[in-house]
Structure 1
């Protein structure tokens, strides 16, 4: 066992609420042993009405519409950068990076069970294998169906 086995990201964030409708955050995600070890977290959240919420930030921006207490619709734009340790042969890092745009919805069936559906487009995709050049990957559509429960 070595320190690479414990490369667990964590975030430090400061949040400021100016009033019940506007808040902001500033922080860092620290990711030991990843290709990008520090990712800035910065954003502004605005809920001008009970139905609408705008979360504009890096690395995640979301527009939410709360149709009723049980249905939420959303648009997302997310920048992702993830590194994996490949241990076959010589240990090396594989990094995937992309931007995802999507639309979806969440249905609260009961308090402890939510169902979600989402579809979108992934672009600006690349793979980098340690000590090799970056490889661009074609853009792609994606979809997901999720079951969420709370403990």
Structure 2
């Protein structure tokens, strides 16, 4: 599908979601676990219903080995419903879809699109006021969606513990099996969150680290670094590989702006570097891409 057509469809999806209200097999599994745990020290109860649509665009960048340019688009959408089972135990269930659309010359032998469709199941247990334990399981299908086999199925699992050391200091630790059998099968969930005053939060950890500033109750400004990646099964013999992974590191800055009581608009940009495709069950060498700026727009609904 032409990338312009795809993004036109996505813009339409965003409009439909907005009017109705007036992650992953990838590292999203790790990011989601960390994000939910880090909400604790900020004193923000998680909403019972949450819908997110996130789009990003990486313009043409050169393939170092074969020449030519690669343009990438990313779309992520998820729906999460949370339940209170007991005063100590919270449960969640949801669905997540992500797409990496790739526009590359034939010489690069890259898939046109890579997809992940996942079911997200989570639980959080509050042992006491200071300690919270969390578990997330996300069975998913990750491939080019040209066919389906058992190898397409991945089951990421992330477990974490959050400890409120003091009013301003929160520690997070855990481990995640990403479902990526070849690249980064296990990743840490690490975080140190320091909130000296209500307006400022400093987070140091993996896979995300950064700083947040809140000039008012409806606006969050942030800057930081993050790791992005995913592994996918391929079903096109012409690509010469059984699996492919994509990974990069990103420096990002942006703003989340509350547009109404249940909706936020996110706008961000930055630079992606150390970008590469790695091929498995193949004699193909890694494919390195030049760094590229990127832009990101997100719509977040919660009630």
Same-fold call, TM > 0.5?
A: yes
CA deviation string 1:15-52 (max 9, x = no partner): 11101211111111112243211011111001011000
Higher fraction of helix: 2
Q: Which of the residues 248, 254, 260 maps onto 1:98?
A: 248
Aligned position for 1:138 = 290
The alignment partner of 1:133 has SS state of: coil
Asked if 1:70 corresponds to 2:218, the answer is: yes
Q: CA RMSD in A?
A: 1.7
Partner Cα distance (1:25, 1:33) in 2: 23
The alignment partner of 1:4 has SS state of: helix
Asked if 1:123 corresponds to 2:270, the answer is: no
Partner Cα distance (1:76, 1:4) in 2: 35
Asked if 1:49 corresponds to 2:197, the answer is: yes
Q: Which of the residues 259, 275, 300 maps onto 1:109?
A: 259
1:111 Cα deviation (Å)?
2.5
TM-score (norm 1): 0.91
Which is higher, the Rg of structure 1 or of structure 2? 2
The alignment partner of 2:259 has SS state of: strand
Between 114-123 and 4-13, report the one with greater CA deviation: 4-13
Higher fraction of strand: 1
- Between 1 and 2, higher relative CO (CA 8 Å, sep ≥ 6) is seen in 2
Asked if 1:81 corresponds to 2:211, the answer is: no
Q: Which of the residues 4, 10, 21 maps onto 2:168?
A: 21
The alignment partner of 1:28 has SS state of: strand
1:81 Cα deviation (Å)?
2.5
Partner Cα distance (1:33, 1:43) in 2: 22
Moved over 3 A (4+): none
Partner Cα distance (1:5, 1:48) in 2: 45
Aligned residues: 151
Contact 2:180 2:230 in 1 (8 A): no
Partner Cα distance (1:133, 1:144) in 2: 30
Partner Cα distance (1:86, 1:121) in 2: 28
